[in-house]
Amino acid sequence: MDSILSDINAIYGVIGSFVCDGDGALLAVAVPPGSGNGTAQGCAASSVAQIVTGLKSVSLSDVGEVDLHCSNGRLVVKVSGSGCLCILCAPHADVSQVNLTANVAARKLGRMIKELPKRKTIPEQSSPEQGPGREPAMAQSTEGILEKVLDLWT
Amino acid sequence: MAQKRVLVVDDEPNVVKTCKRILQLEGFSVEGASDGASAIKLYRSEDFDLVVTDLKMPGMDGLKLLAAIREHNPRASVAILTAYGTKENVVEALQLGACEFLEKPLDAKTLVAAVRRILESKGGAVVQGNLRSLSLPNIVQINCAERNEALLRIRQAGQEGKVYFAEGNVVHAALGKKTGADAVYELLTWEEGEFELQMGVSAPKRTIEGSWSGLLLEGARRMDEGMAGLVDLELLTDETEVDGDQVAANLASALKDIQGVTGVVVVAHDGSVVAHELDDAPGNRGSIAVLVLGAAGQLGKPLSLGSFSWGTVALGKEKMLLMERPDYFVGMLLNQRASAANVAASAKQALH
């Protein structure tokens, strides 16, 4: 997985990338310092997984991609099987090239995640503001939204 | 000099008859056709220097005729007649190789001038039109997607702006004393103006770095800021009570009018659908908007990507653009050819 992420990170404008499974557990991370700490990526992975799980519940079609544009960059999430490939891009990133590489990579990663015998996750680093036993606020909030949406839909 | 031959195609016999008469009086040899099928038959059997065709015709419409003619002769000059202010299908016509857009109703002087201009510039790969038919964001998107090296000139009220394209981006622009991105931001505020796109022209220098989509979004943001004062003033002077649902319905309708948008859902933060412009499943689409937008706002900052602006979700063949305003979440279904960045830039204006 690490070599796939380093191929993606070599694309012009890509800041970093990480992979998580359907439960939001981080499986591989290649993000430089300054793009959030381990806890931030763990929280993001958890939120991404919950968004994707929610989308799979409310949509009749396959979830292919979620692309979030922010003021200083964008987060491209490629969904493959039960896993998600998350790519952090700078505003000037060549996204067509990112897509070309990431679509192939996401399929490979999807197969790799499926073949994983036992979950192997990257332990999250605790930040000073957040104790290890405390549930991330972002994940709690997303979970709440998910529940609300599923309530509405059912 | 050999007499230039023009083929006029329109399903309204009077339009064909009038155009033929006007152009014949100016010395052109003109044939007419009342539908696409007979026009393509005529074009294949005889030589024409220019085809002027209506866009909307029953059976083979102007776009299909344009595609068929360009397939037969890739260097063919085809001008498209469109109704005043119509933007529908103009992008597709430009991509198919239309050389000019003429707005109906057409007066004799404009028709003759356009036909002369096209025939004189033939071979120089020039595309002409008005921003009313094809907006600057659309022109930028097409030229960047096609990686054209080209010069776009836009004229309005005695001013001329220039925008240069190369390597899939906007690389230089000038308007009066303004150059670079500032010139583009100013040009984006022009709602109308004659434009001329000349292919194969290199930029004299590079004054713009970064992506074309970022340039358009920043332009839209600046326009929002510029309009914010006016909007506040309107709100202060508006003494009538505003119905929230009506505002949402108007918003949905306005967003549906954006080129590339096929459906809209406006949903409150609690998940209830406030307004929609969809044929089916507004609740389902509304849930998708709430689900993604509810979490998106919290994802950017921890990852050092800054504050959330807009997003897209691809579900099967469907693509939904998602945006937020203080009271609502908005989901817009896009057609397959739509540029999400372009629609987002236009939607930002409608959302403020």
Q: Which of residues 112-131 of A touch B (CB under 8 A)?
A: none
Comparing alpha-carbon positions, the chain A residue that sits nearest to B217 is: A71
Tell me the pLDDT band of B125, cut-offs 50, 70 and 90. low
Task: Give the residue from A14, A31, A59, A95 with the most B CB atoms within 10 Å of its CB, the best one to mutate.
Answer: A59
Are the beta carbons of A62 and B316 separated by less than 8 Å? yes
Cis peptide before A117 (omega within 30 of 0): no
Name which of A17, A41, A48 is nearest B313 in CA terms.
A48
Residue partners of B81: CB distance under 8 A and separation at least 6: B10, B15, B52, B53, B54, B55, B62, B102, B103, B104, B106
**Chain B residues in contact with A58 (beta carbon < 8 A):** 284, 287-288, 291
Q: What is the pLDDT of residues B257-281, one digit of tens each?
A: 888 899 999 998 888 898 999 888 8
How would you class A153 by CB atoms within 10 Å of its CB: exposed for 0-12, middle for 13-18, buried for 19 or more? middle
Tell me the pLDDT band of B311, cut-offs 50, 70 and 90. very high
- Can you tell me the ipTM of this complex? 0.74
* CA distance to partner chain B, nearest, from residue A117 (Å): 29
Per residue in A10-22, is it b (16+ CB within 10 Å) or e — as a string?
ebebbbbbbbbbb
**Chain B residues in contact with A90 (beta carbon < 8 A):** none
Are the beta carbons of A47 and B305 separated by less than 8 Å? no
Bigger pLDDT: A154 or A5? A5
* CA distance to partner chain B, nearest, from residue A45 (Å): 10
Are the beta carbons of A65 and B317 separated by less than 8 Å? no
- Please give the pLDDT value at position B247: 78
Residue B138 has pLDDT above 50, yes or no: yes
Does the beta carbon of A91 lie under 8 angstroms from any beta carbon of chain B? yes
Domain residue extents for chain A: 2-153
Question: Token digits for B26?
Answer: 């100016």
Task: Give the residue from B280, B303, B322, B323 with the most A CB atoms within 10 Å of its CB, the best one to mutate.
Answer: B303
Are the beta carbons of B295 and A50 separated by less than 8 Å? yes
Q: What is the mean pLDDT of residues A35-55?
A: 79
Residue B288: which of A47, A58, A142 has the nearest Cβ?
Answer: A58
Tell me the pLDDT band of A143, cut-offs 50, 70 and 90. very low
Task: Give the residue from A46, A70, A88 with the most B CB atoms within 10 Å of its CB, the best one to mutate.
Answer: A70
Least confident of B93-107, B221-235, B308-322: B221-235
Q: What is the pLDDT of residues A66-91, one digit of tens each?
A: 999 988 889 999 998 888 999 999 88
Residue B230 has pLDDT above 60, yes or no: no
Q: What is the pLDDT of residues B140-164, one digit of tens each?
A: 888 888 788 889 999 988 889 999 9
Tell me the pLDDT band of B244, cut-offs 50, 70 and 90. low
Question: Token digits for B195?
Answer: 């434009």
Does the beta carbon of A68 lie under 8 angstroms from any beta carbon of chain B? yes
Are the beta carbons of A75 and B306 separated by less than 8 Å? no
Question: Token digits for B51?
Answer: 């085809």
Are the beta carbons of A145 and B290 separated by less than 8 Å? yes
- Please give the pLDDT value at position B192: 80
Please state, in angstroms and as integers, the Cα–Cα distance from residue A3 to each residue in A9, A17, B134, B243, following that order: 10, 11, 45, 56
How would you class B75 by CB atoms within 10 Å of its CB: exposed for 0-12, middle for 13-18, buried for 19 or more? exposed
| Domains of chain B, earliest start first | 1-124 (3.40.50.2300), 238-351 (3.30.450.30)
Mean pLDDT value across chain B: 83
- Superfamily covering domain A2-153: Dynein light chain 2a, cytoplasmic (3.30.450.30)
Are the beta carbons of A40 and B302 separated by less than 8 Å? yes
Residue A129 has pLDDT above 70, yes or no: no
- Please give the pLDDT value at position B328: 85
